[in-house]
């Protein structure tokens, strides 16, 4: 975090987002203030609260993308939620604390990935040894009939000795058996074959070869809001009562390796340490993006029959102010989580929100409508520009797609005009127009080697010109 100044954060956002300089500057300052807070004395740190933001602007101008890219730039836990999904306490719907629990899930995954990456080289060596044994299996010592009788006698013995239901259900599931050679004979011929297979595996020659592995059956226990609020994890409780069943899966070696690496890594790490790290990461670096914030402001639509929008605001308020939320990983404080609210505020105003909530979003930034020139840059400049995406997609069919400068300008003009004549959906209109223009190429591509294809201004007009000129038709198609 200390390596990225506000200017550097904005530069990183510029690689993906066109325009909206004021919004980028505001989020960069808010984010860097976190680093500044960590440099002051501990007592003062507790008093410095995040400067939450409210981004105001029409759909499709980059509000969500700014927040999402910001989280990626600083490698912070991030979730996007919609304010309209929440309901006042006492009504059916998600409770507002679920946004914090979702954020914790993201943080736990991030912590796990980092811990797994640290031990990956060692785990990979063990998994590759196991894959070699699975690709060249050893010889069974006993016949099938003898095995069946032994398994039956073993089951009867275990049933007599089992002290609880979990022990009985665990009998014979091979969950603890990580060695495919157990109970089998390894001959000299098999050893020689394995040496050859190991050499091929090390060179990456067997990545697409299929192998059958034993994995734990995934089991998700139902989790209602009351259980989550009390911090109860039903999945863990069920695992303790009834051990997981092992199932067979046939996968390519490259996929099987990743499955086995993740399983083996999970056995080696300290999960309590991971959960504590995730709590710390969430509390100090977490970002929650609340979209459609304007929809919970009453505005001019005050009807007596709807769920109280003000009630939802009052439920969100303590989370933003700073409170403790119970999760299945432990209690999480929300005092220093950064909240970014977003909304068009076309039919309401930020001042329609309750005063206490307004005060918790001190930074207000307005995003501007995108211009035709902005559309040209969006199509070509960012690292993930739409034209670059379609060029990459069509390469899979042996097509070298080329967009001329004039074609890009025409696409931008069509999208801009459509936004002005129909509902303005911002940059999202570009995807709709491009899909229509390239539909024939995307359909025919897999069946014929087209080679180089150049998209010209004339081709764009030919594909969408008639639709654009027909206002009624363009309303439904583009």
Pick the CATH number of 372-467 from 3.40.50.970, 1.10.8.60, 3.90.1150.10, 3.30.565.10: 1.10.8.60
The position carrying tokens 């074959």 is: 193
**What CA–CA distances, in Å, run from 279 to 75, 167, 232?**
15, 34, 16
Q: How far apart are CA 202 and CA 5, in angstroms?
A: 43
pLDDT surpasses 50 at 1: no
The predicted-structure confidence for 234-293, as pLDDT tens digits, reads as follows: 555 555 566 667 888 898 999 999 999 999 999 999 999 999 999 999 998 999 999 989
Confidence at residue 239, expressed as pLDDT on a 0 to 100 scale: 57
**What is the band of 465 on the pLDDT scale with cuts at 50, 70, 90?**
confident
Task: Could you please state the CATH topology (level 3) that the domain comprising 6-107+277-366 is classified under.
Answer: Rossmann fold (3.40.50)
In the chain, % helix, strand, coil (3-state, to 5) comes to 55, 15, 30
Tell me the percentage of the chain whose pLDDT exceeds 90.
34
Residue 184's pLDDT band (cuts 50, 70, 90): confident
Residue keyed to tokens 């939802």: 312
Residue 131 main-chain phi, psi, to 5 deg: -65, -40
- Check pLDDT > 90 for residue 59: no
Which of 20-34, 91-105, 159-173, 320-334 is predicted least confidently? 159-173
* Beta strands 363-366 and 338-343, pairing class: unpaired
pLDDT in tens, 104-132: 999 999 999 999 999 999 999 999 999 99
pLDDT of residue 162: 43
Asked if the model's pLDDT at residue 440 lies above 60, the reply is: yes
Task: Flag whether pLDDT at 221 surpasses 70.
Answer: no
Q: How far apart are CA 187 and CA 388, in angstroms?
A: 54
- Domain layout of the chain by residue ranges: 6-107+277-366, 121-270, 372-467
Tokens of residue 293, six digits: 């914030």
The pLDDT value recorded for residue 152 is 54
> What pLDDT is attached to residue 85?
84
Question: What's residue 304's pLDDT?
Answer: 45
The contacts of residue 263 (CB under 8 Å, 6+ apart) are: 215, 216
Cα separation, 450 vs 213, whole angstroms: 41
Inter-CA distances, 178 with 128, 134, 182, 260, Å: 13, 11, 9, 10
Euclidean distance between CA atoms 345 and 299, whole angstroms: 9
């Amino acid at each position: 975090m200390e390596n990225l100044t506000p200017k550097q954060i904005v530069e990183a956002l510029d690689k993906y987002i066109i325009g909206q300089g004021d919004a980028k500057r505001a989020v960069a300052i808010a984010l860097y203030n976190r680093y500044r807070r960590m440099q002051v004395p501990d007592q003062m740190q507790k008093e410095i609260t995040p400067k939450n933001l409210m981004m105001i602007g029409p759909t499709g101008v980059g509000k969500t993308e700014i927040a999402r890219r910001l989280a990626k730039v600083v490698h912070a836990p991030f979730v996007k939620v919609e304010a309209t999904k929440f309901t006042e306490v006492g009504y059916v719907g998600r409770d507002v604390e679920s946004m914090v629990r979702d954020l914790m899930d993201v943080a736990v995954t991030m912590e796990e990935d980092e811990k797994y990456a640290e031990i990956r080289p060692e785990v990979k060596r063990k998994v590759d040894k196991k894959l070699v044994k699975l690709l060249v299996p050893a010889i069974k010592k006993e016949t099938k009939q003898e095995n069946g009788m032994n398994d039956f006698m073993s089951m009867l013995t275990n049933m007599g000795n089992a002290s609880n239901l979990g022990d009985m259900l665990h009998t014979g599931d091979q969950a603890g058996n990580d060695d495919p050679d157990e109970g089998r004979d390894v001959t000299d011929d098999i050893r020689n074959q394995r040496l050859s297979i190991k050499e091929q595996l090390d060179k990456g020659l067997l990545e697409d070869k299929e192998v059958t592995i034993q994995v734990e059956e995934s089991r998700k226990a139902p989790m209602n809001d009351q259980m989550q609020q009390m911090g109860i994890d039903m999945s863990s409780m069920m695992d303790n009562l009834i051990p997981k069943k092992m199932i067979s899966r046939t996968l390519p070696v490259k996929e099987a390796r990743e499955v086995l690496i993740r399983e083996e890594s999970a056995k080696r790490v300290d999960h309590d340490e991971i959960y504590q790290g995730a709590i710390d990461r969430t509390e100090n670096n977490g970002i929650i993006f609340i979209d459609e914030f304007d929809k919970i402001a009453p505005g001019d639509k005050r009807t007596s029959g709807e769920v109280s929008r003000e009630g939802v605001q009052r439920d969100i308020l303590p989370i933003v102010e700073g409170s403790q939320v119970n999760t299945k990983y432990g209690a999480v404080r929300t005092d220093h989580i950064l909240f970014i609210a977003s909304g068009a505020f076309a039919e309401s105003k930020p001042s329609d929100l309750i005063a206490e909530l307004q005060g918790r979003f001190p930074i207000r930034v307005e995003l501007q409508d995108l211009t035709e020139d902005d559309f040209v840059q969006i199509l070509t400049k960012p690292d993930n520009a739409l034209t670059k995406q379609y060029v990459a997609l069509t390469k899979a069919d042996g097509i070298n797609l080329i967009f001329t400068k004039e074609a890009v300008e025409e696409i931008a003009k069509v999208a801009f005009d459509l936004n002005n004549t129909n509902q303005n959906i911002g940059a999202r209109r570009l995807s709709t127009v491009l899909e229509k223009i390239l539909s024939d190429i995307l359909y025919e591509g897999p069946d014929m080697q087209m080679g180089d294809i150049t998209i010209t201004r004339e081709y764009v007009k030919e594909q969408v010109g008639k639709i654009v000129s027909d206002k009624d038709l363009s309303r439904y198609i583009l």
